[in-house]
Amino acid sequence: MRTLKLVAVSAGLSSPSSTRLLADRLLQATRYKLAEQEYAVDVEVLELRDLAVDIAHHFTTGFPSEKLQGALDRVTGADGVIAVTPVFTASYSGLFKSFFDLVDPAALTGTPVLIGATGGTARHSLILDHALRPLFSYLRALISPTAVYAASEDWGSGGDAYTEGLPARITRAGEEFAALVSTAGRRHEEEEEVVPFEKQWADLRFD
């Protein structure tokens, strides 16, 4: 079975950042579940703050730098993408949106995507549904059912009998995303095995 490639995109601006931490945790949960299914997994994290200047230059010149083009290629070539942004003014950050504005609208078609966000208060958790899901629906990605929002207080909470804490939400999101990635991977392998009609016709011998 081919190796699955997972890419996490973190739009956190500080180092370290809670956004990067959430991306790492989601990546770890997904990788762990895929390993249970005996998949080989390659993982990579893209820090958008390291690409901020390249992204700005792309908008002013119309041409991506080699570094930015490599990042775009890795995202669009991945078997699964984890996209995490901090909340800025009740929506995703400008850096996060600018990066995905540069992704070809058809390049993520059918690609499983797990979305996440971080913020100071739980009141901004609706960003997942009113901003992130519409963005990746427009890009025709397969959005994983469980998205994860982490407020500041979530990092020190394990949940209780009535609420699902952050660790449990991350685990559930990783399990669902792993199932989506593995299913899409199998479908891709089956498509690759299909012999085009033109080749079948050319291989025919008429006696």
More confident site: 114 or 188: 114
Q: Which residue has the tokens 């790492």?
A: 24
Stated pTM of the model: 0.87
For residues 118 and 22, the answer to whether their CB atoms sit within 8 Å is yes
pLDDT band at 58 (very low <50, low <70, confident <90, very high): very high
Give Cα separations from 95 to 2, 73, 83, 99 (angstroms). Answer: 33, 18, 12, 6
- Structural domain range at position 24: 4-203
Percent of the chain surpassing pLDDT 90: 74
- pLDDT value of residue 161: 44
CATH number at residue 87: 3.40.50.360
Total domains in the fold of the chain: 1
- pLDDT value of residue 199: 59
> Looking at the DSSP assignment, which residues form a beta bridge with residue 114?
82
- pLDDT value of residue 162: 45
